[in-house]
Every structure is written in structure tokens, then in C-alpha cells.
């Protein structure tokens, strides 16, 4: 159990750094989605199941959808692929 906590926390920090340094905005948003999902698992480890349900629906669902829609509005998804 202890080891799993460490793995999840290290994954969180790596996700945050990855969202910072990645060049394409689409990759950034997807990494942020993974970050939110891992956060939902951590709420379960901290014995807060209310927060786990809310974070899984909000962080990985609605916030990511809003970010994707913004990326689509500003034509950043296609631009990012062309840049590569």
C-alpha cells in the first residue's frame, strides 16, 4: 500500500512536469486528464470517496471537454500536428 502511494505521487509530479514541458497543446491537455484521474485515485487513498467521484467526473470529464473545445475553437489541434 505504501509503495502504491509513492508510485501515484511520483506519477502526479511527472504528469505535472510533462504538462509543463510538452510542446503540443493537445498533449498537454491529455496529460492533464491523466493527472486528474490519478488524483481521483489518491482521494480514495485518503479516505475521501465523495471527492473521488466528483474529481473523476469533473477533472477527467468536464474540464478536459472544455479544454478540448477551446483547442478546437482556436484551431490548435490541426496546427499542432502540422508543426510536428
Which residues contact another protein by CB under 8 A? Answer: 5-6, 9, 12-13, 16-17, 19-21, 23, 25, 28-29, 32, 35-36, 39, 42-43, 46-55, 57-59, 61-63, 65-67, 69-74, 76, 83
Smallest distance, another protein to C-beta of residue 81, A: 14
Contact yes or no for 45/6 (Cβ under 8 A): no
What is the distance in angstroms between the CA of the first residue and the CA of the last residue of the chain? 41
Smallest distance, another protein to C-beta of residue 67, A: 7
- According to DSSP H, which parts of 1-84 are helical? 2-21, 25-45, 49-57, 64-73, 76-83
Amino acid at each position: 500500500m505504501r509503495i502504491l502511494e509513492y508510485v501515484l505521487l511520483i506519477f502526479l509530479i511527472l504528469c505535472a512536469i510533462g504538462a509543463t514541458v510538452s510542446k503540443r497543446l493537445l498533449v498537454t491537455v491529455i496529460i492533464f486528464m491523466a493527472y486528474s484521474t490519478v488524483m481521483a485515485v489518491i482521494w480514495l487513498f485518503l479516505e475521501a470517496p465523495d471527492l473521488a467521484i466528483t474529481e473523476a467526473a469533473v477533472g477527467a470529464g468536464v474540464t478536459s471537454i472544455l479544454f478540448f473545445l477551446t483547442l478546437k475553437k482556436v484551431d490548435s489541434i490541426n496546427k499542432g500536428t502540422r508543426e510536428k
